Amino acid sequence: MQSKKNKKADLESKRPLFFEIGMASAILFALLAFEWTTTNTIQIDLAKAPSTIIEQGLIPITKHEEIRKPEPPKQVKFSDEIKVVDNNIEIEDNPDIFDSEFFEDKAVSIIKFSENETEEDEPFQKVEIMPTFMGGDVNYFRSKYVLPNIHYPEIAAANGISGNVIVEFVIERDGSVSNVKVLNRIDESLANEAIRVVSNSPKWEPGVNNGVYVRVKFIIPIKFVLN
């Protein structure tokens, strides 16, 4: 019984030593653990690192033009009665020039009936015996044939379009009408109607110069008026 008490007393006396040994072991293991888990740091020299320069492109400035509002269409008033007015214009047999307003903007012919011509075969404007239409001159042709046969185009009437159409044509050696064309800028429907009527003309008595039949050129105005 005395022996057990002595052993217990020895252990109690050595307890501080055991405590110090345990603490030292714990501290040693802790230091080893920190050394094991510590990672190496890598230093980067930013001065030597490659740099990427991003150039910012210039964005073009787009100018937006102001959009103009279209003007409202003009309203044209006209009566139900449509007719071609004969203004009783006397046409000379050799018209060198008409009123300048007819030739201000000379346009390419809209419809043209042409033949192969040489300089020697150019049509005359004045000859010894001028061509005649059913016994009358060019004024008779205009008043008795052209104006009565003109039909006002529906599209022109619907849009209130009127104006003067200057028509040129040639009376051939056989009395037929050729080379019909419009000399001024005018609504296409009016021009085509004037050309249609003149082109469908019956044959004329051809012109004569130096005893032979020759080609003769005429120019007439055809006035389209809405009432």
Query: What is the Cα–Cα distance from 159 to 78, expressed in whole angstroms?
Result: 9
Least confidently predicted of 34-38, 160-164, 206-210: 34-38
Query: What is the Cα–Cα distance from 88 to 147, expressed in whole angstroms?
Result: 11
Q: Would you place residue 32 in the very low, low, confident or very high pLDDT band (cuts 50, 70, 90)? A: confident
Query: What is the Cα–Cα distance from 102 to 220, expressed in whole angstroms?
Result: 11
Higher pLDDT among residues 128 and 7, named by residue: 128
pLDDT for the residue 79: 45
Domain extent for 120: 82-226
The average pLDDT across 165-183 equals 97
The 3-state DSSP class for residue 157 equals helix
Tell me whether residue 55 is in a domain.
no
Q: Would you place residue 84 in the very low, low, confident or very high pLDDT band (cuts 50, 70, 90)? A: low
Q: Does the structure show a pLDDT above 70 at 50?
A: no
- Per the document, the length of the chain is 227
Higher pLDDT among residues 70 and 27, named by residue: 27
Q: Would you place residue 225 in the very low, low, confident or very high pLDDT band (cuts 50, 70, 90)? A: very high
Q: Does the structure show a pLDDT above 50 at 46?
A: no
Query: What is the Cα–Cα distance from 140 to 132, expressed in whole angstroms?
Result: 9
Q: Does the structure show a pLDDT above 70 at 89?
A: no
Selection from 42-56, 77-91, 205-219 with the highest mean pLDDT: 205-219
Higher pLDDT among residues 185 and 37, named by residue: 185
Tell me whether residue 163 is in a domain.
yes
CATH of the domain at 172: 3.30.2420.10
What percentage of the chain carries pLDDT values higher than 90? Answer: 46
Tell me whether residue 160 is in a domain.
yes
Tell me whether residue 112 is in a domain.
yes
Tell me whether residue 202 is in a domain.
yes
For the chain, the average pLDDT equals 75
Tell me whether residue 48 is in a domain.
no
The average pLDDT across 14-23 equals 76
Residue ranges of alpha helices (H) inside the chain are 2-37, 138-141, 147-149, 154-158, 188-199
Tell me whether residue 2 is in a domain.
no
pLDDT for the residue 20: 76
Domain count, the chain: 1
CB neighbour list of residue 153: distance below 8 Å, 6 or more residues apart: 189, 190, 192, 193
